[in-house]
């Protein structure tokens, strides 16, 4: 029986909460990194380990995925300024494109997927591409080849992915692929990102930008990152998470176009001060966890696939739910779609039952929803159910039972 610790007219926060995301490692992994030798892990050793693991010739450790994308675009920008990307995306991707001095060319997503509509490549005047692999769904990169009329660079944004070798085997010579270790990502490691390419010059130039833009790695920063990673890991233990939650936090779960926290006008992006993801270096503890994640990556993939499969088995055929496309890759969330009138209520009910869910991504105020009907409706209908590698399949069953109960309640 759920025991409630906070009450309001609208909802209660139970003691035990399944968080929307959790780090892939536990408290003991962080402690063993801190006491048992994270201090010899250099930037170049991480670059080498990731490049070898994914059979890529060159890689560059980044302060974040957004910074790497932006620098790669800027390096390529001389004559290829129009950059195509999907309207259903993380706002940091728009920011990365605009901060590179590029023109943002936005297109809709396919109606039955979370990825960019293929016809847009022919219809729109663009020279470069940012292909964000939303929730870990992958593009067939052969369909998105650069040509004489599309001569720029392809950025493959794998921030939400746990990649395997086949993700990298798709890359062409001038592609730049990025992974993220930032908050909420499948490969969370405290901070950072990493970029890969077959193009030695591109990686060398991105490295130069990195060395110019990031601050010095200090002992103080190491302590700060270690404390942040430890506290995130403790707080998100299901037995403790309900205590941590505040009512205001719930508001952040549900964002609409009036509450996207983003700038009204495209140019404003570049006028805002840079967030820390643009200049904060990784520290020893982040790099230790990056190594740990690399060692565990194939286990993470298996677990994520098993969780998505369990969701599908449990939710298949339920009235009022649209299940996401089946994928043979690891997904970051299990993203269902519901009637948009019911979506926020369902999220509240689930929260009251101890399940935190998400709504990634909202539809940005920068765009006209009539021009991007698939992205706009998807953004209003999605609920991201948690996938986390430390969850049990019985947690998935509990989430699904709560969802069925919540559907009954909202339909009454
Ligand atoms: C799809 C996608 N791409 C890129 C990013 C940016 O990643 P980072 O936080 O490493 O800059 C995010 C982040 O939130 C994301 O969701």
| C-alpha span between 236 and 16 (Å, rounded) | 10
- Give the residue from 114, 66, 60, 61 showing the smallest Cα distance to 87: 114
| Residue 252: predicted pLDDT | 56
Based on the domain organization, do 87 and 173 belong to the same domain? yes
pLDDT in tens, the chain (412 residues): 333 334 444 555 666 889 999 999 999 999 999 998 788 899 999 999 999 999 999 999 999 999 999 999 999 876 678 999 999 999 899 999 999 999 899 999 999 899 999 998 877 888 899 999 999 999 999 988 877 777 789 999 999 999 999 999 999 988 999 999 999 999 999 999 999 999 999 999 999 999 999 999 999 999 999 999 999 999 888 888 877 765 545 555 554 444 444 444 555 667 788 999 999 999 999 999 999 999 999 999 999 999 999 999 999 999 999 999 999 999 999 999 999 999 999 999 999 899 999 999 988 887 888 999 999 999 999 999 999 999 999 999 999 999 999 999 988 7
CATH number at residue 344: 3.90.1150.10
Q: Which two tokens stand for residue 224?
A: 């700060």
CATH number at residue 163: 3.40.640.10
Query: How close is the Cα of 176 to the center of ligand 1, in Å?
Result: 15
Q: Please tell me if the CB atom of residue 64 comes closer than 6 angstroms to any atom of ligand 1.
A: yes
Sheet containing 128-132: order of strands: 58-62, 193-197, 176-180, 154-157, 128-132, 82-86, 103-107
- Which residue lies with its CA nearest to atom 9 of ligand 1? 182
Based on the domain organization, do 195 and 302 belong to the same domain? no
| C-alpha span between 340 and 399 (Å, rounded) | 20
| C-alpha span between 185 and 115 (Å, rounded) | 18
Q: Please tell me if the CB atom of residue 115 comes closer than 6 angstroms to any atom of ligand 1.
A: no
* Residue numbers of the domain that contains 43: 27-213
The structural domain count of the chain equals 2
Based on the domain organization, do 324 and 183 belong to the same domain? no
**Are the C-beta atoms of 410 and 345 separated by less than 8 Å?**
yes
Based on the domain organization, do 153 and 102 belong to the same domain? yes
Based on the domain organization, do 39 and 103 belong to the same domain? yes
Q: Please tell me if the CB atom of residue 193 comes closer than 6 angstroms to any atom of ligand 1.
A: yes
Q: Please tell me if the CB atom of residue 86 comes closer than 6 angstroms to any atom of ligand 1.
A: no
Within 13 A of 380's CA, how many CA atoms are on the CB side? 12
Q: Please tell me if the CB atom of residue 333 comes closer than 6 angstroms to any atom of ligand 1.
A: no
Q: Note the Cα 389 to chain centre separation in Å.
A: 15
Based on the domain organization, do 324 and 353 belong to the same domain? yes
The answer to whether the Cα torsion of 273, 86, 372, 334 is positive or negative is: negative
pTM of the shown model: 0.92
Substitution candidate for ligand 1 out of 60, 63, 66, 384 with most atoms within 8 A of CB: 66
SS3 assignment for 41-98: CCHHHHHHHHHHHCCCCEEEEECCHHHHHHHHHHHCCCCCCEEEEECCCCHHHHHHHH
Q: Please tell me if the CB atom of residue 92 comes closer than 6 angstroms to any atom of ligand 1.
A: yes
| Residue 67: predicted pLDDT | 98
Q: Report the run of H or E that residue 13 belongs to, with start and end.
A: strand 12-14
Q: Which two tokens stand for residue 144?
A: 């998105």
Based on the domain organization, do 185 and 317 belong to the same domain? no
Based on the domain organization, do 188 and 245 belong to the same domain? no
Based on the domain organization, do 306 and 172 belong to the same domain? no
Residue 316 lies in a domain: yes
Residue 275 lies in a domain: no
4: three-class secondary structure by DSSP: strand
Where does 236-383 have alpha helices with state H? 238-244, 247-253, 266-271, 284-315, 340-352, 373-381
- Which CA distances in Å does 378 have to 111, 192, 261, 384? 8, 29, 19, 12
Backbone angles phi, psi at 83, to 5 degrees: -115, 125
64 CA closest ligand 1 atom index: 10
Q: Please tell me if the CB atom of residue 93 comes closer than 6 angstroms to any atom of ligand 1.
A: yes
Burial label, 166 (beta-carbon count in 10 A; 0-12, 13-18, 19+): exposed
Within 13 A of 252's CA, how many CA atoms are on the CB side? 8
Q: Which two tokens stand for residue 64?
A: 């974040």
384: three-class secondary structure by DSSP: strand
- Give the residue from 50, 70, 85, 27 showing the smallest Cα distance to 278: 70
Based on the domain organization, do 18 and 44 belong to the same domain? no
């Amino acid at each position: 029986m759920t025991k409630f610790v906070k009450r309001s007219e609208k909802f209660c926060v139970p003691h035990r909460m399944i968080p929307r995301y959790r780090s892939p490692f536990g408290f003991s992994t962080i402690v063993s990194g801190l006491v048992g030798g994270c201090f010899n892990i250099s930037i170049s050793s991480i670059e080498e380990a990731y490049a070898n693991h994914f059979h890529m010739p060159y890689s560059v450790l980044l302060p974040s995925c957004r910074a790497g994308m932006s620098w790669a675009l800027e390096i390529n920008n001389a004559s290829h300024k129009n950059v195509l990307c999907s309207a259903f995306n993380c706002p940091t991707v728009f920011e990365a494109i605009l901060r590179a001095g590029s023109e943002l060319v936005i297109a809709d997503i396919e109606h039955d997927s979370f990825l960019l509509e293929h016809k847009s490549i022919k219809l729109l005047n663009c020279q470069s591409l940012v292909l964000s692999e939303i929730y870990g769904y992958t593009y067939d990169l052969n369909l998105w080849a650069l040509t004489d009329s599309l001569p720029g660079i392809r950025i493959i944004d794998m921030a939400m992915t746990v990649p395997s070798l086949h993700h990298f085997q798709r890359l062409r010579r001038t592609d730049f692929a990025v992974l993220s270790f930032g908050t909420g990502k499948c490969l969370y490691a405290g901070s950072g990102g990493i970029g890969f390419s077959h193009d030695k010059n591109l990686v060398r130039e991105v490295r130069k930008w990195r060395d110019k833009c990031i601050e010095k790695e200090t002992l103080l920063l190491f302590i700060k990152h270690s404390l942040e990673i430890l506290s995130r890991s403790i707080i998100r233990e299901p037995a403790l998470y309900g205590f941590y939650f505040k009512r205001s936090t719930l508001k952040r779960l549900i964002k609409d176009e009036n509450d996207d926290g983003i700038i009204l006008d495209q140019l404003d992006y570049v006028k805002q001060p840079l967030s820390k993801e643009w200049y904060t270096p990784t520290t020893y503890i982040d790099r230790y966890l990056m190594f740990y994640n690399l060692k565990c990556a194939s286990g993470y993939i298996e677990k994520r696939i098993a969780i998505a499969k369990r969701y599908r088995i449990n939710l298949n055929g339920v009235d009022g739910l649209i299940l996401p496309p089946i994928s043979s890759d690891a997904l970051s969330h299990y993203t269902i779609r519901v009637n948009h009138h019911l979506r926020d209520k369902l999220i509240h009910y689930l929260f009251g039952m101890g399940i935190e869910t998400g709504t990634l991504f909202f539809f940005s105020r920068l765009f006209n929803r009539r021009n991007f009907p698939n992205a706009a409706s998807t953004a209003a209908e999605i609920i991201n159910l948690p996938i986390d590698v430390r969850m049990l399949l019985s947690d998935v069953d509990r989430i699904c039972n709560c969802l069925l109960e919540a559907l009954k309640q909202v339909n009454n």
